[in-house]
Amino acid sequence: MVSQPVIRAENLDLTFQTNDGPVHALKGVDLTINKGDFVSFIGPSGCGKTTFLRVVAALEHPTGGSISVAGMSPDEARRKRMYGYVFQAAGLYPWRTIRGNIKLPLEIMGMPRDEQEERVERVLALVDLKGFGKKYPWQLSGGMQQRASIARALAFDAEILLMDEPFGALDEIVRDHLNEQLLKLWAATDKTIGFVTHSIPEAVYLSTRIVVMSPRPGRITDVIENPLPRERPLDIRDTPEFLEVAHRVREGLRAGHAYDD
Amino acid sequence: MKSVLPILTVVAAIVVMWYAAAIGMNVKWAREQAARQGVELGFTELVADTWSQDRPRLPAPHQVLEELWNSTGAKILAGKTWSKRSLIYHGWITLSATLAGFAIGSLAGILLAVGIVHNKAMDMSVMPWAIASQTIPILAIAPMIIVVLNSIGIQGLIPKAIISAYLSFFPVVVGMVKGLRAPGREQLDLLKTYNASGAQTFWKLRLPASVPYLFTSLKIGMAASLVGAIVGELPTGAIRGLGARMLTGSYYGQTIQIWSALFAAAILAAGLVGIIGMIEKLMLRRMGVRT
């Protein structure tokens, strides 16, 4: 299988002008993400991992370099609804049921009603929330809400899934469970996933590649190919291979951080 | 039901203080009257007198209630619901102006808020004027509105409704602007990733998010509308409406009449605000809010 580049960034710069002077959120970022990749971005706060994801989503605009998403500019890709974005907060509308929330993007895209219903059923099953469609968000736990927000991002079958610390606010046990589910989901749908995280085990467990970033200016310090097989039971995290990759990530983070101490 | 006892306790305390105050306020007149007639009043007689004068400085609660009943329930029983002495008649005059003004004011408030949120120029220009409009005493503006409109042949309900609207649009503007801006950056970004249009953002996110703010504003707006309608009845020496009742009451020293009109207005306001509260509850329940 020849891997096709889906996201390609070359020498990407993004500088925010603030009252305290310019902030270099991204500097000289080169990265290619291929179709079907699961790429994690890891690094301390301010390293630009979220900013990079937002640039891919055309929510921020780079001040230098070039980036293409599925062969187009990010803004064109946004207009063509090429990606689903999952934010750190589930951000479900409290006045809509889970079903209504998942329908939201479908309504906006003007899909026929019966197709909406059919898609809602399908993604509810995909995130293991069958039978919860009629509940309101406040009736669900935090983990279930986040699953609903992932279902919402999956509902319109975008090729790319961009996830910005989706499990950051959840406890370890729930997070493990959701990580496992996310891997299954990825295997089932073969989507390209960009995933921002703070957690080394999470990054190593989930991804095919791990992008290590460091702040001031936000840049990529290391890109680690993950040698683990695609099939990953939870206890793979106790194997020497896993620990070795985790060690490399930690080293990369430390190297990028050294001048800070 | 738990809240009934504290409420009754407070009401009882107010009634007690009121009766005590009525003694204090009316005792001078009672003494003077007694002295003029050369009679000596005992304590109980004195108290009884302060609670039953025709034109007391401060009427006792039972006098006000009696007047309220005489000018409402008793009129209905006598088949004179719409007589000039009926508070139902006067209340309806004021109520109709209040409702018309509330409708105009709320609609104007909502439209202005939508404009402010979606249009930069309106955002910069409208709010200062809206605030300035509320710093002008309504008592100063009301006569001018009535006189100007009267000179072009408009009188009766419309001028009062306009004064009501003038008072009630403001809380609606402020509340709706806050409500329409309630959605955070992530929620707006989410819709951007769906490439949603401005209209879709408005109908699917901003408007539903503003509903709780809207109802809070509508309650304030409704109370303000009633005040506006009553104020609108004062300057022209109107002969109809609760404001007119208060005015004629004050001309002739009919304190009981003033107080009963005052109570009628308060009951009306409580009823109107209560109705909005009920609609709010139903609406929020339909929107899945935890109850």
Q: What is the pLDDT of residues A22-64, one digit of tens each?
A: 888 899 899 999 999 999 999 988 888 999 999 999 999 999 9
CATH code of the domain covering residue B272: 1.10.3720.10
- What ipTM score was computed for the predicted complex, to two decimals? 0.87
Q: How many contiguous H segments (helices) and E segments (strands) does chain B have?
A: 13, 0
Query: Does one domain contain both B280 and B177?
Result: yes
Cα(A97)–Cα(A106) distance, integer angstroms = 15
pLDDT, tens digit, 9 for 90 and up, residues B52-87: 888 898 999 999 999 999 888 888 888 887 888 888
Q: Which residue of B has its CA nearest to A81?
A: B194
- Share above pLDDT 90 across residues of chain B, in percent, rounded to a whole number: 53
- Is B78 contained in some domain? no
Mean pLDDT estimate for chain A: 89
Q: What is the pLDDT of residues A111-168, one digit of tens each?
A: 999 999 999 999 998 888 989 999 999 999 988 999 999 999 989 888 899 999 988 8
> How many domains does chain B contain in total?
2
The mean pLDDT value for B12-21 works out to 94
Confidence band, pLDDT 50/70/90 cuts, at residue B205: very high
Which three-class secondary structure state does DSSP give residue A162? strand
Judged by a CB distance cut-off of 8 A, whether residue B205 touches chain A is yes
B131: Cα within 13 Å, side-chain hemisphere: 6
Q: What is the mean pLDDT of residues B143-150?
A: 88
Q: Which of A78, A79, A91 sits opposite B190 (nearest CB)?
A: A91
User: Would residue B67 count as lying in a domain?
Assistant: no
Over 90: is that where the pLDDT of B101 sits? yes
Q: What percent of chain A has pLDDT over 70?
A: 97
What pLDDT is recorded for position A257?
65
Structural domain range at position B259: 87-286
Per this entry, what is the length of chain B?
A: 291
In this structure, the answer to whether residues B173 and B238 fall within a common structural domain is yes
A259/B contact by beta carbon, under 8 A: no
Q: Please judge whether B196 and A108 are an interchain contact, meaning their C-beta atoms are less than 8 angstroms apart.
A: yes
Q: Does B194 touch chain A (CB under 8 A)?
A: yes
A-chain residue closest to B201, CA distance = A108
Tokens standing for B77? 């029983």
Contact B192 A93 (CB under 8 A): no
Q: Which of A89, A95, A109 faces B186 most closely, judged by CB atoms?
A: A89
Based on the fold, state whether residues B12 and B141 are members of the same structural domain.
Answer: no
Is the same domain home to B118 and B37? no
The class (CATH top level) of A5-82+160-260 is: alpha beta
Q: Check if A146 contacts B (Cβ < 8 Å).
A: no
How much is the pTM?
0.83
Collapsed DSSP state (helix, strand, coil) of residue B280: helix
Note whether B228 and B102 are same-domain residues.
Answer: yes
Whether residue A41 contacts residue A29, with contact meaning beta carbons closer than 8 Å, is answered with no
Helical axes B242-251 vs B87-118, angle rounded to 10°: 120
CB–CB contact B189 A78 (8 Å): no
Using an 8 Å CB-CB cutoff, list chain A residues near B209: 95
Average pLDDT over residues B229-244: 83
Rounded CA-CA distance A192/B9 in Å is 67
Q: Are A87 and B189 within 8 A, CB to CB?
A: yes
The domains of chain A are located at: 5-82+160-260, 92-157
**How far A161 CA sits from the closest chain B CA (Å)?**
11
| Contact status of A132 with chain B (Cβ, < 8 Å) | no
Is the CB of B186 inside 8 Å of chain A's CB atoms?
yes
Count contacts between A and B (CB, < 8 Å): 53
